[in-house]
Amino acid sequence: MDKLATPVLISKESVAGLRFPAEAISRSREEQKILMDKLKDATTLGNIEHNKCRIIFSDDEGLKMVETTIWATGEKNIVLKHGMTIPIHRIVDVNIYAG
């Protein structure tokens, strides 16, 4: 995957209609740990402070980005509002911001 490609900004409501390949995005164990730490931080801050984050991920069409709150982080998926999920193995990065 081209990590330098510009992700397409989509609405959080659009996530429900996306298809995610089964293969994981290639990353080292250290990169996976950093991503999981970011996801847990984003979940905590989203639930306590109502901070939003930018989630960059790849579906079957390419890089996408959504700006929203993460409600829960599990072993395999993150949960957004209305029960929409994004598989962790397809997430490229997460950036937390206030507001």
* pLDDT tens column, 52-66: 999 999 999 999 999
Assess if residue 1 is contained within a domain.
no
CATH number of the domain bearing residue 13: 2.30.30.100
Assess if residue 17 is contained within a domain.
yes
**Number of independent structural domains in the chain:** 1
User: pTM, whole model, 2 decimals?
Assistant: 0.91
- Under 8 Å between Cβ of 52 and 94: no
Assess if residue 48 is contained within a domain.
yes
Assess if residue 70 is contained within a domain.
yes
pLDDT of residue 95 exceeding 60, the answer is yes
Q: Centre a 10 Å sphere on the Cβ of residue 88 and count the other Cβ atoms it contains.
A: 19
Assess if residue 81 is contained within a domain.
yes
Full domain range(s) for residue 74:
8-97
Assess if residue 2 is contained within a domain.
no
DSSP-based three-state secondary structure for 82 = helix
68 sits in the region (left: phi over 0; alpha: psi -120 to 50; else beta) called: beta
Could you tell me where the DSSP H helices lie in the chain? 29-48
Strand order in the sheet with 85-87: 72-73, 77-79, 85-87
